[in-house]
Structure 1
Amino acid sequence: MSERVREKLRILADAAKYDVSCASSGSTRKNKNKGLGDTGSGICHTYTADGRCVSLLKILLTNFCIYDCAYCVTRKSNDIERTAFTVKEVVDLTINFYRRNYIEGLFLSSGIFKNADYTMERLVRVAKELRQQHKFNGYIHLKTIPGASDELMKEAGLYADRLSVNIEIPTESGLKLLAPDKDRQDMIRPMNYLKNEIIQNKEERKLFKKSPLFVPAGQSSQMIIGATRETDKDIMYTADSMYRNFSLKRVYYSGYVPISNDSRLPMLNTAVPMVRENRLYQADWLMRFYGFNVRELLNPATPHLDLDIDPKLGWALRNLDKFPIDINKADLQLILRVPGIGVPSAQKIVSARIYQRLNWDHLKKLGVALNRARFFITCSSREFERRNLSANQIKQYILSTSASKYLKSQPAQLELFT
């Protein structure tokens, strides 16, 4: 690798770290004709300490940009070192890094130079050359450019495993405040186009199995949280709307990192706490896999998630009248609402109780976190353990036992590093 390319990589990989929407799962592209890579089960994930994925070559095509978004490090008014890769340089980097087993695929985003189509066309060329000239079957995720033509979006979908159109700010008013040159509809239109094309492609493949894949890992989006004053309710209502209207695979939540002194931005001395991101992801998970409606988790009376406890425990403590449930009789959807019981454990419970009534020992063996669950369930061996405790008493007890377990685990953990 030349020093010139190495320097570009240093600058454009660092600039790409603010985009977290780069999970590399969900595609079924197969390696054929002795090509390179395979996106099936061969894709693996490694994460940095703050949870960001590093299993992909994650770079910007360029950090030049025609926009001046207050929250963006690459905005045109920011005094930073600017550079750009050529299409060939990105292709060569991807192939060389893959052959050295450094990466499992490519996540490619870009600042916008000249216009949306000009930038999008170069992103598509990278994916096209990797697929057609190098027979690369590894994972490719392209960050699409809002405002690009449908023709370019269509072509991108034929070569990429996943496409993302970042919504950027949770509300339209927030976007107008911090990025007045951008139009929310330029983000909505491609999401809707991709949704319809994905549906059409699935129908075509039912009739013609050799029809080309189109975005097999679906589409995703990302919101910056904390750059504007939206509540957790505002954020999750926007996410819920995108899941329902555009069939997104994932919505990512990226805490705002202070990068400028723009008066439109909140006066933050530190980044948004990671725990807020975690709570939003947990609420997102409950909506997608546990059957929760977003309005159960967040509403005008509860506009923010509790940072001390997870959203499911928070919901349960606000709804103590719905508990206890009999673990040997309740249906799966009710069991999924019990704090301390995940999807695998709930499914095991439903299967195991066919053969015998379950007690506390059985539940522990099935993976239930009894320090939380026992306040919300009954089983065959002992009485319900809430014993008229208030929601606050249960919360404090769970927090104290969790802290105690953490402290007890420290010596064992420290031994691993000595």
Structure 2
Amino acid sequence: MELIDKLSILADAAKYDASCASSGAPNRTSRGKAGLGASSGMGICHSFTPDGRCVSLLKVLLTNFCLYDCQYCINRRSSNIPRARFTPEEVVRLTLSFYRRNTISGLFLSSGIIRSSDYTMEQLIQVARLLRETHQFRGYIHLKAIPEADPRLLEEAGRYADRLSANIELPTLTSLKTLAPEKQLGTIHSAMGQIRQGIDAANDAATQEAKHPPRSDNPKRLAPRYAPGGQSTQMIVGADTTDDRTILQSAEQLYQRFRLKRVYYSAFSPIPERPAGLPQAAPPLLREHRLYQADFLIRGYGFAAAELLGKPGNLALDIDPKLAWALTHRDTFPLDINRAEPALIARVPGIGLRSVQRLVELRRHRRIRFQDLIALRCRIEILRPFVVTQDYRPADGQRDSARLRQQLTAPQPAQMALW
């Protein structure tokens, strides 16, 4: 099979893996080195760094052959689809070719399981090893961690990759046993735990080195490097009957236990010749969007999953989770911006974290006025019923939650934000 034909098949097969991001990786540089440059069409995905830069990654599978028969996966062994397989050298050649044409800044590489978990992980590591050691590639590399692989292989993978991801796929043990019986939740958690320990050990060593710099007679002593971009995972939404509350609680536990950088949510996509028991239609993409918004509130705003969904069920589709929380906690609002704690101001719909920081700084010098909220480009149409400033207080009629919900319901998803 021609290389371009393999790329067509394996780039398309990789689109189902959403756990692709470059945020959190340190800046790399080739200055003073003989290596390829660094990241500060077909098979290309776009990710965003914490400072807002958009970077492009070559996103492919090493192969879409797989020993497993996960019912939700189009690449399962019983699936009747075209199959292809790259050699490690072919993936390296593609990565360097795309990079030299300034098309990508790095590589996202996953794979189906072939021969064994150890063999597949060795093949993924071989790609990263060739890029790093043979070609001195300084770009971003994200490798899929295969939980069933030998722990020594996961340790080696972390020395070459900026980020590792072990996909949990389904949020409950029951769903995993039903739809992916060959996968073990305990094994996935063990892999995540090992990755976390590797990251923590590398960070501790770097801290100690910063406190005690290398001596002049040993200038090359460096702290070990292990997955500096952290780890991530993916959960499929809508392949089973698991509700959003359970999904968010599972994500919250993963963040707390393994310090994941991100949990990604992928709406189930109906596949050809799907096994019995799987949904015939995909869930609303807006549901996936709401989960990302709720996840952002958990990671960045200090919300707990139980706060966003107090009882079993799914997130509301007509309003974002932060606004839904505010409407059910009317006793907290309206909030006096000049007196409230920063963490509570951040819970006001329409006010983001950066605006909170600027408001706190501003009120050290003078009282906050409503015009200040406008100047900070807060979402004025949303926040009006929830704030008090020196010169503004909402009318009493704006305290009715049902009426406010009708007034504030966003007309279309494109107008919604993560605030």
Whether the TM-score (by the shorter chain) exceeds 0.5 is: yes
Kindly indicate whether the alpha-carbon contact (under 8 Å) linking 1:46 and 1:55 is maintained by their aligned counterparts in 2. Answer: yes
Kindly indicate whether the alpha-carbon contact (under 8 Å) linking 1:24 and 1:45 is maintained by their aligned counterparts in 2. Answer: no
- CA change 1:69–1:54 in 2 (3 A) is farther
Partner of 1:164: 165
Kindly indicate whether the alpha-carbon contact (under 8 Å) linking 1:64 and 1:113 is maintained by their aligned counterparts in 2. Answer: yes
How far apart are residue 35 of structure 1 and its match? Answer: 1.3
Q: Distance in 2 between matches of 1:94 and 1:5?
A: 13
Q: Distance in 2 between matches of 1:72 and 1:54?
A: 27
Q: Distance in 2 between matches of 1:151 and 1:59?
A: 24
Partner of 1:364: 374
Write the letter of the residue equivalent to 1:294. A
- CA change 1:386–1:297 in 2 (3 A) is farther
How far apart are residue 403 of structure 1 and its match? Answer: 3.7
Q: 1:349 aligns with which of 354, 359, 364?
A: 359
- CA change 1:388–1:206 in 2 (3 A) is closer
How far apart are residue 392 of structure 1 and its match? Answer: 1.3
Write the letter of the residue equivalent to 1:246. F
- CA change 1:95–1:405 in 2 (3 A) is closer
- Which is worse superposed, 149-158 or 386-395? 386-395
Write the letter of the residue equivalent to 1:68. D
Q: Distance in 1 between matches of 2:384 and 2:47?
A: 33
Kindly indicate whether the alpha-carbon contact (under 8 Å) linking 1:27 and 1:39 is maintained by their aligned counterparts in 2. Answer: no
Q: Distance in 2 between matches of 1:199 and 1:146?
A: 19
Q: Distance in 2 between matches of 1:386 and 1:72?
A: 53
Partner of 1:374: 384
Q: How does 1:45-84 map to 2 (within 5 A)?
A: 46=46, 55-84=56-85
Partner of 1:294: 305
- CA change 1:152–1:405 in 2 (3 A) is closer
Kindly indicate whether the alpha-carbon contact (under 8 Å) linking 2:128 and 2:161 is maintained by their aligned counterparts in 1. Answer: yes
Q: How does 1:24-63 map to 2 (within 5 A)?
A: 24-32=22-30, 33-40=33-40, 46=46, 55-63=56-64
Q: Distance in 2 between matches of 1:329 and 1:384?
A: 17
Q: 1:242 aligns with which of 238, 246, 254?
A: 254
Q: Distance in 2 between matches of 1:405 and 1:22?
A: 23
Residues 224-244 of structure 1: per-residue CA shift (max 9 Å, x gap): 010010000010011001000
Partner of 2:218: none
Q: Distance in 1 between matches of 2:396 and 2:63?
A: 58
Kindly indicate whether the alpha-carbon contact (under 8 Å) linking 2:13 and 2:64 is maintained by their aligned counterparts in 1. Answer: yes
Kindly indicate whether the alpha-carbon contact (under 8 Å) linking 1:29 and 1:137 is maintained by their aligned counterparts in 2. Answer: no
Kindly indicate whether the alpha-carbon contact (under 8 Å) linking 2:71 and 2:274 is maintained by their aligned counterparts in 1. Answer: no
Q: Secondary structure at the match of 1:187?
A: helix
Q: How does 1:78-227 map to 2 (within 5 A)?
A: 78-208=79-209, 210-227=222-239
Q: Distance in 2 between matches of 1:303 and 1:342?
A: 26
Q: Secondary structure at the match of 2:228?
A: coil
Partner of 2:12: 14
Percent identity, aligned pairs only, is 47
How far apart are residue 208 of structure 1 and its match? Answer: 3.4
Structure 1: 5+ residue stretches without partners = 408-418
Report the TM-score when normalising by structure 2.
0.90
Q: 1:326 aligns with which of 300, 318, 336?
A: 336
Write the letter of the residue equivalent to 1:310. D
Report the TM-score when normalising by structure 1.
0.90
Q: Distance in 2 between matches of 1:201 and 1:352?
A: 39
Q: Secondary structure at the match of 1:222?
A: strand
Q: Distance in 2 between matches of 1:299 and 1:194?
A: 32
How far apart are residue 203 of structure 1 and its match? Answer: 1.0
Q: 2:313 aligns with which of 267, 280, 303?
A: 303
Write the letter of the residue equivalent to 1:35. G
Partner of 1:416: none
- Which is worse superposed, 133-142 or 368-377? 368-377
Kindly indicate whether the alpha-carbon contact (under 8 Å) linking 2:55 and 2:105 is maintained by their aligned counterparts in 1. Answer: no
Residues 28-83 of structure 1: per-residue CA shift (max 9 Å, x gap): 1522413112233xxx98479xxxx9821000000000011110010000001111
Kindly indicate whether the alpha-carbon contact (under 8 Å) linking 1:29 and 1:216 is maintained by their aligned counterparts in 2. Answer: no
Q: Distance in 1 between matches of 2:397 and 2:158?
A: 57
Kindly indicate whether the alpha-carbon contact (under 8 Å) linking 2:385 and 2:398 is maintained by their aligned counterparts in 1. Answer: no
